[in-house]
Amino acid sequence: MIIPCIDLMDGKVVQLVQGREKALEGDSPEEMLRKFAAFPEIQVIDLDAAMGRGSNGDLVRFLASKAVTRVGGGVRSVERARELLDQGAHRVIVGTAAFGPMGVNVEFLARLDRERLIVAVDSKDGRIVVKGWRESTNLSAEAVLRELEPYCSGFLCTYVDKEGMMQGTDLDWFRRLRAATSLELTAAGGITTIEEVRALQAMNVHAALGMAIYTGKLKLEELLL
């Protein structure tokens, strides 16, 4: 499955490089919904909420009510996760709150609806990063997937090292992750070519696409073939 991404910041659809520098702005949320209407699912991330500097709650609510969405960004409480589901999100993505000082935050994850939960396991320099990718943990993605499996229905794994850089991704990393879990796996971060998308699909790994779509490097028509 190919999952287009709508990332929100300051009330606009944006694309960032490595979660820091804004590279471009997309069309309005309504127009992006129209463009992505043929895809079975859309990923919506509230970047302001992820970074702890506000939210785009009204836009998230609007998008979740209009399409099949997986929604993330700043989901750090059970109440927030349930609120998003109540607003229409198909599934909720949790990243930062899934991890604590001692490793996996089992107490928190056990209180969520497993079938509606995706855990974001985002990696930079070989370590899981949290809080809008601004803090590094001492955990590796490969090491924690099995421990997380009882609490979620799938993983969103972003290769932050190449996120938004249009330089390709690390297919070997995704192969290792695929070997480490039997659950649904979605790849993100640096996916630039149709060959990479097909390689991921051959591994039974979904592709979440942002910058390559917004810059026109990957055409929506070819992705729907």
Domain parsing of the chain, residue ranges: 2-223
- Give me the chain's average pLDDT, please: 94
Q: Is 48 tagged catalytic? A: no
Determine the Cα–Cα distance for residues 172 and 178; give it in Å rounded to an integer: 10
Contact 208, 15 (CB under 8 A): no
**C-alpha to C-alpha distance for 218 and 72, rounded to whole angstroms:** 24
Per-residue pLDDT, averaged over 193-221, amounts to 96
Please indicate whether residue 20 or residue 86 has the higher confidence score (pLDDT): 86
* Catalytic-role residue among 46, 122, 125, 161: 122
Token representation of residue 76: 């750090």
pLDDT band at 32 (very low <50, low <70, confident <90, very high): very high
Please check the confidence at residue 101 and state whether its pLDDT lies above 80. yes
In the predicted model, is pLDDT for residue 29 greater than 80? yes
| Residues 6 or more apart in contact with residue 107 via CB below 8 angstroms | none
Give the global pTM: 0.94
Residue 225 has pLDDT above 80, yes or no: no
> Shortest CA distance to 215 belongs to which of 199, 196, 191, 195?
191
- Judged against a pLDDT cut of 80, whether residue 35 lies above it is answered with yes
The predicted structure's pLDDT at residue 60? 96
Name the pLDDT band for 165 (thresholds 50, 70, 90).
confident
Q: Is the pLDDT of residue 17 over 90?
A: no
Neighbours of 124 (CB within 10 A): 18
The percent of residues in the chain predicted with pLDDT above 90, rounded, is: 87
The arithmetic mean of pLDDT across residues 155-182, rounded, is: 93
In this model, does residue 164 exceed pLDDT 90?
no
Which tokens in the block code for residue 84? 């998003």
Give me the mean pLDDT over the 98-122 stretch: 95
pLDDT at 85: 95
User: One of 7, 113, 170, 172 is an active-site residue; which one?
Assistant: 7
Among the residue ranges 46-55, 116-125, 204-213, the one predicted with the least confidence is 46-55
CATH of domain 2-223: 3.20.20.70
- Position 166 scores a pLDDT of 83
Calculate mean pLDDT across residues 40-63: 94
pLDDT at residue 49, as a whole number: 92
The answer on pLDDT for 88 being more than 90 is: yes
pLDDT, average across residues 148-172: 93
pLDDT band at 212 (very low <50, low <70, confident <90, very high): very high
Q: What is the C-alpha to C-alpha distance for residues 8 and 157, in angstroms, rounded to an integer?
A: 19
Whether 161 sits among the annotated catalytic residues: the reply is: no
